[in-house]
């Protein structure tokens, strides 16, 4: 064989051996894990959500009404450690047993905004919706008091029985900057007819 051919074949063999050595050497190398990149912004600490401490209660419990008589129930609030900015009340009652149901704001909030679309009594379905909130200029409130007063009349011809005035799940209490509701518990009332 000519010398050029032998030299070319020898060079190819050496090149192949070098490439195999490099390829097997690279396969055993461990990849380095990605390093965390330093952040220029300070780490934001999560703001803890304060626990829900506020309670709502319908009082008195029970209420007794004579035939054709009127009744009054107050919605009492105790915020405990919460500083609240609004209340949304959703209640239900039996419209066959109670009529002329009216809800009015109590004295717990001073000059609250009453939300018109959430301030109605549906006499046909027996649903009360009422919401009052503080204006952005007003500070949140803590303490105990009367949020609202509900008055009603016993429907004529209603047999002696018991019915309830009860809170619905959409009832909520707000605290500025906190979501969801800070409402812990609700207590309904029994109405003896």
pLDDT, tens digit (0-9, with 9 covering 90-100), for 50-86: 689 999 999 999 999 988 899 999 999 999 999 999 9
* Degrees, nearest 5: CA angle 99-104-110: 170
CATH number of residue 106's parent domain: 2.60.40.680
The pTM for the full model equals 0.73
Q: Which domain holds residue 116?
A: 54-192
* 86-92 and 172-174 strand pairing: antiparallel
Element (H, E) at 9: helix 3-27
In a domain, residue 3? The reply is no
In a domain, residue 26? The reply is no
Look up tokens 């090149």; give the residue. 15
Question: Given a cut of 70, is residue 37 above it in pLDDT?
Answer: no
In a domain, residue 111? The reply is yes
In a domain, residue 42? The reply is no
In a domain, residue 151? The reply is yes
Which of 1-5, 43-47, 97-101, 157-161 is least confident? 43-47
In a domain, residue 15? The reply is no
Question: Given a cut of 90, is residue 35 above it in pLDDT?
Answer: no
Count of alpha carbons within 13 Å of 148, Cβ hemisphere only? Answer: 25
Count of alpha carbons within 13 Å of 19, Cβ hemisphere only? Answer: 6
In a domain, residue 64? The reply is yes
What's residue 65's pLDDT? 92
Total domains in the fold of the chain: 1
- Cβ distance 157 to 97 under 8 Å? no
Question: Given a cut of 60, is residue 27 above it in pLDDT?
Answer: no
In a domain, residue 37? The reply is no
- What is the Cα 121 distance to its own chain's centre? 24
Count of alpha carbons within 13 Å of 86, Cβ hemisphere only? Answer: 21
Question: Given a cut of 90, is residue 21 above it in pLDDT?
Answer: no
Nearest to 70 by CA among 126, 150, 154: 154
């Amino acid at each position: 064989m000519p010398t050029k051919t032998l030299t070319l074949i020898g060079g190819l063999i050496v090149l192949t051996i070098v490439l195999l050595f490099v390829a097997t050497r690279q396969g055993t190398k461990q990849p380095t894990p990605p390093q965390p990149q330093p952040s220029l912004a300070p780490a934001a600490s999560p703001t803890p959500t304060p626990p829900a401490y506020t309670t709502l209660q319908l009082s008195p419990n029970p209420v007794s009404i004579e035939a054709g008589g009127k009744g009054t129930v107050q919605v009492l609030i105790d915020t405990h450690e919460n500083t609240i900015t609004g209340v949304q009340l959703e209640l239900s009652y039996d419209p066959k047993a109670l009529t002329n149901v009216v809800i009015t704001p109590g004295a717990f909030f001073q000059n609250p905004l009453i939300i018109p679309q959430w301030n109605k009594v549906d006499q046909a379905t027996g649903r009360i919706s009422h919401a009052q909130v503080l204006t952005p200029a007003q500070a949140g409130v803590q303490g105990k008091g009367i949020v609202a007063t509900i008055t009603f009349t016993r429907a004529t011809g209603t047999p002696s029985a018991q019915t309830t005035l009860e809170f619905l799940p959409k009832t909520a209490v707000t605290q500025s900057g906190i979501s969801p509701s800070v409402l812990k518990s609700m207590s309904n009332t029994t109405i003896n007819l």
